[in-house]
Amino acid sequence: MSELLFRFAPWRARRHANPDVDEAMNKQPDRGIGAEAPIRTASEDRLRRTEFASRIADVLSELSLREGRVFAIRGGWGFGKSSLKNLITERLDAKSSRADWLDFNPWQWGDCNAIARALFGQIADCLGGEHSKAALNRAEALRRYGAILTGVGKPLKEVGSSGLLISTVLTNASVIAVASAIGFDLPTVAKVAAVLALLSFGVPLVGRLLSHLGRDHSGEPLDKVRRSLEARLRELDRPLVVFVDDIDRLEPEQIRMLLRQVKANANLPNIVFVLLFQPSIVERALDPVADSNGRAFLEKVVQANFDLPAVPASIVHRMFEEELSKIAGLYANEANGFSQRRWGNACIGCIQPLLRNMRDAHRLISSIAIHMPLHVVGNVFEVNIVDFLLLETLRVFEPDLHDALFRERGLVLQEGRFSRDGRRKKDQEAAKVLLEIVSEERRDIVRDALKDLFPPLEWAYGGTNYADGFHRQWLTEKRVCTSRYFPRYFELQTTVGELSERRFVDFLDATATEDELDAAIAAVEADGLLNSLVARLDEAVDRLPTENAAVLLPGMFRLAEKLAGTNSGTFNSSYVAAWRATSWFLKRIPEDVRGGLALEALRKTEALSVASLLIHLSDPADRNEGDGGAFEPVLDLNTVAAMKSEWLRLMRKRAADGDALFAEPDLISQLYRWRAYTGSMDEAREWMTKAIQTDQGFATVVTRLMSRGTSHTHGDRVSMPHNSFNQETIDDFIGIDVAKARIDSINPNQFPEHEEALRMLLRHLEKWLGLRANDTFDFFQR
């Protein structure tokens, strides 16, 4: 077991030694596609069956002048019957004096008659291959014998008997051709007519010839034909070994026909049949003609059996791991969620138990080799390597369950579920139904696989209840149990609107210089992926390169500022993700340089919104007495004070620059920050007083002070606009009475872009002043 747990250690070594993944991949041999094909030579023998094959070849090479023999190579599907056959034929070829051999595959020939004719035809061709007179005589004797048994002369007789019809048609055609050509190119028509007439004369002769060749050989004494054939076969100086493979792939009727033919010819001298099949399938096919005892029937046909040596499960597992390391080893690293412990548990508990034989191992390797490139972009693996391998195992061995997992996304991810929402019992029952898709003997294995793949659902199978804090770790590891990565595993492509792993890695690389980072952000924004980018920064903050903090931190300030004011009240909004990622990234920067980098980022970007939030998170003065939890400031007090000073400088600069402050995305919050950092409302109210001196200025301020959102009531399927004003905010910065006087003095129709806000504020002012009562309209529009 210790060997298995460290099986992937060479993967990491190769990864370290080959940083250029593309070049390394190009150097790899067969990627495993089509690897289920049997081996061809002893050099490929990894099961040490070459000696076994050599002993069988010795037995098959013995001359048998009296009668032939029938042997069987028996084994289940995937046990390596065809591979053993190839090793035997290689040994037969090694010494020219051993035996001739023929590889006959009945599965390629279709119906019963075609199989029988092909069998005799190929044996005859092989016997006549020397082109000597004796060889040709043997081949002819066998063809005559086969014609009697299979009745192949009948089609030729039918063709010969139709000669009169053919002659008549050709004669009539010649007459019609000549008659219809009168007045046209007579020499040419005469030639055509002459040819047709000649054919009409010659066809009866051809018909008689075909009738002769296709005469019914069944009229000749079978014993006489057979004795002649046996005499010629005894002249062979080495036997002919006929391998009949893939018998267990035939239909039951075809199996019965083939075995009858072999039984009828089993005692022809120096002809050795070697039948390859899975016993249970052939025995069932023979049951209807053997009084439900197909095994006894088979024993009368086959004289001796070569049963494939069992392949120990340890060898199957070892060979699977060796092949897997060749095609997947480059991606077995921490960045792709690989760990020795998890891989060891998944492989031993969920993958190895399903690999019963070499065919199972080859099937899984082939599926991995086919689907892995679909998750690779450049040298980046887009998903978690262990999750990918587990899901491929389910795809190959439990395809119905694999399909069901995609349909049951809400269940396996536990999206939107809470411990007390009343759904736990239903989900537990649904999880049980999901498991019942697989056979009972595999349920324990599959249950462990599902618990490993989908930790949020583990509780339903009697496992752990995971807290929300694990979600960030699963995102970092690109796990299938997250809503971000789940579609990638099943749809084999990045979801629309999401940043691919390849592009995120490119973004991280671009943090080395300001120009590269600015270009990367601009490209992401142009493609409409800004929200996805900040979500990735939030989820993968541990992957952000702190060595590039001087470049990356200002970039994160700019990103957060772009999103400030957009749904900032929603916990899962992009703005929250942006400033939270910035705060957590700051924590990863060494303390001795953290403060200076944060202050410099504010100076470069003038990002007031994100800076005020970072100050708030580290300012003890902003803590309320009832705030629980440990206070872990990101910035020290000196940095907080310095950033407040810089923030006030930038705020005053914008306030003095005409309407520049109107462009601030989170104006209301910044006005209150202005008050908090100065300890007075004076500066903020002074700016407001100047801003609303004109009607246009007042209308603009009203629009900026209105909160926009949506709401929906019970029974609604869609959200409705929900715009409102805060009474305290209007009173603090304008004054209720002043606002009422100003709004009464202007006509909202004159300011189309602000009309909605002006009318909404009028409703609120009248309500606050007691001039109107609440009504249904207020309830839906507040």
Q: What are 542-574's pLDDT values in tens digits?
A: 999 999 999 999 999 999 999 987 654 444 489
Specify the pLDDT at position 196.
42
| Residue type at position 295 | R
**For residue 469, what are the domain limits?**
2-34+313-491
**Closest CA relative to residue 449, chosen from 381, 354, 378:** 354
Q: What are 358-382's pLDDT values in tens digits?
A: 889 989 999 999 999 999 988 899 9
Collapse the DSSP code of 713 into the 3-class scheme (helix H, G, I; strand E, B; otherwise coil) and give the result: coil
Question: Do 596 and 704 belong to one domain?
Answer: no
Domain final residue pick, 456, 491, 526: 491
Question: Do 552 and 645 belong to one domain?
Answer: yes
Specify the pLDDT at position 726.
94
Q: What are 723-779's pLDDT values in tens digits?
A: 899 999 999 999 999 999 999 999 999 999 999 999 999 999 999 999 887 665 454
Domain count, the chain: 5
Q: What are 30-89's pLDDT values in tens digits?
A: 444 444 578 888 888 888 889 999 999 999 988 776 778 899 999 887 678 999 999 999
Collapse the DSSP code of 708 into the 3-class scheme (helix H, G, I; strand E, B; otherwise coil) and give the result: strand
Specify the pLDDT at position 572.
47
Question: Model-level pTM?
Answer: 0.67
Count CB atoms within 10 A of the CB of residue 228.
16
**Closest CA relative to residue 617, chosen from 632, 639, 595, 601:** 632
- 41 falls within a domain: no
Question: Do 25 and 55 belong to one domain?
Answer: no
Which carries the bigger pLDDT value, residue 692 or residue 492?
Answer: 692
- 519 falls within a domain: no
The full 3-state SS of 86-133, as one line of letters, equals HHHHHHHHHCCCCCEEEEECHHHCCCHHHHHHHHHHHHHHHHCCCCCH
Question: Do 661 and 754 belong to one domain?
Answer: no
Question: Do 629 and 583 belong to one domain?
Answer: yes
Specify the pLDDT at position 288.
94
Across the chain, what does the average pLDDT equal? 82
- 477 falls within a domain: yes
Choice among 57-71, 456-470, 665-679 with the minimum mean pLDDT: 57-71
Contacts 24+ apart (CB under 8 A), 104-108: 104/242, 104/243, 104/244, 104/245, 105/244, 105/245, 105/246, 106/244, 106/246, 106/247, 106/250, 106/254, 106/258, 107/245, 107/246, 107/249, 107/250
Question: Do 473 and 581 belong to one domain?
Answer: no
- 328 falls within a domain: yes
Question: Do 328 and 464 belong to one domain?
Answer: yes
Please check the confidence at residue 158 and state whether its pLDDT lies above 70. Answer: no
Question: Do 303 and 377 belong to one domain?
Answer: no
| C-alpha span between 704 and 723 (Å, rounded) | 12
Q: Which residues make Cβ contacts (< 8 Å) with residue 780, sequence separation at least 6?
A: 711, 713, 720, 722
Question: Do 428 and 333 belong to one domain?
Answer: yes
Which carries the bigger pLDDT value, residue 125 or residue 686?
Answer: 686
What DSSP character marks residue 347? I
CA angle 342–347–349, rounded 5-degree value: 95
| Cβ atoms 73, 84 nearer than 8 A | yes
How confident is the model over 235-241, as a mean pLDDT?
Answer: 87
| Residue type at position 674 | W
Domain final residue pick, 491, 511, 529: 491
Bridge partners, residue 72, by sequence: 275, 305
Question: Do 92 and 29 belong to one domain?
Answer: no
